[in-house]
Structure 1
Amino acid sequence: MPEWTMEVFQECVRLDELIRRRVFLEVAESGADVDPEARTRDTLDSFRRNGFVVLVDDRQVTALDEQVHLHAGSRITFLKLVPLVGG
């Protein structure tokens, strides 16, 4: 599983902004010809549809407008959810 390091200079940031930054970083590093704003909209829609969850220091953040409290060494995990076979 790839890891990214992202510098965040605020102690608190909203989850939607954190996701936006992650998407922009991923697009920039991939070199793909992708519109990062459109990709961000798609990713936020996926979060709203429970396509993935976000953990910050092992605590699930459930709302896009929730303030995420960060500190040096904070670990942010994006977990893609897949349906189980048969249900």
Structure 2
Amino acid sequence: MTQTITIRDEELGGGAVNEFSLDCLSEHITVRELIRSRVFQEVKDHNAKQNQTEFNGLVQPTDSERTLNGFQMKKRRQIDWKKQFEQALEGFERNQILILVDDRQAESLEEEIEVGPQTVVTFLRLTLLVGG
């Protein structure tokens, strides 16, 4: 059964900067799978849009500048979700990204999360990450 969870992006001292829903195919997902699903979906959505140079995602693409609501790329291009995913994993492992599941901090990439209709996952960015 598909579960829908709320994903919220926050920055230290800045509050929520983005919120959206993400569908999970299972009631249990690891932190690694959650990051993968999130990054894959946001890059897929961006790449499907023609002529868009703005990207609102977890990891800053290379050759882009920080804006109020995301990142502005210098020219329109496809983003590589795998590079973004690797940067996000690295950020989590270096404590540059904290993941809170219903206000409880996830400790490892292999930690399993129980997903329900009221689940809220907060990605708290402590520093800026640059990826694909």
| TM-score relative to the length of structure 1 | 0.86
- Other-structure match for 2:126: 81
Q: Percent identity?
A: 34
1:28 partner letter:
K
TM-superposition CA deviations, 1:30-71 (whole Å, max 9, x none): 235111112101110111111110011111101000001111
Q: Shift of the alpha carbon at 1:26?
A: 1.4
CA RMSD across the alignment: 1.2
Runs of 5+ consecutive residues of structure 1 not aligned to the other structure = 83-87
Greater fraction strand: 2
2:123 partner letter:
F
- Other-structure match for 1:59: 104
- Other-structure match for 2:41: 25
Number of aligned residue pairs: give it. Answer: 82
2: distance between equivalents of 1:20 and 1:13? 11
Indicate the SS of the match to 1:72. Answer: coil
Which residue, 113, 121, 131 being the options, matches 1:68? 113
Runs of 4+ in 1 over 4 A off after TM superposition: none
Aligned pair 1:8/2:24, yes or no? yes
Indicate the SS of the match to 2:118. Answer: coil
Indicate the SS of the match to 1:47. Answer: helix
Aligned pair 1:42/2:92, yes or no? no
Greater fraction helix: 1
Runs of 5+ consecutive residues of structure 2 not aligned to the other structure = 1-16, 48-76, 128-132
| TM-score relative to the length of structure 2 | 0.58
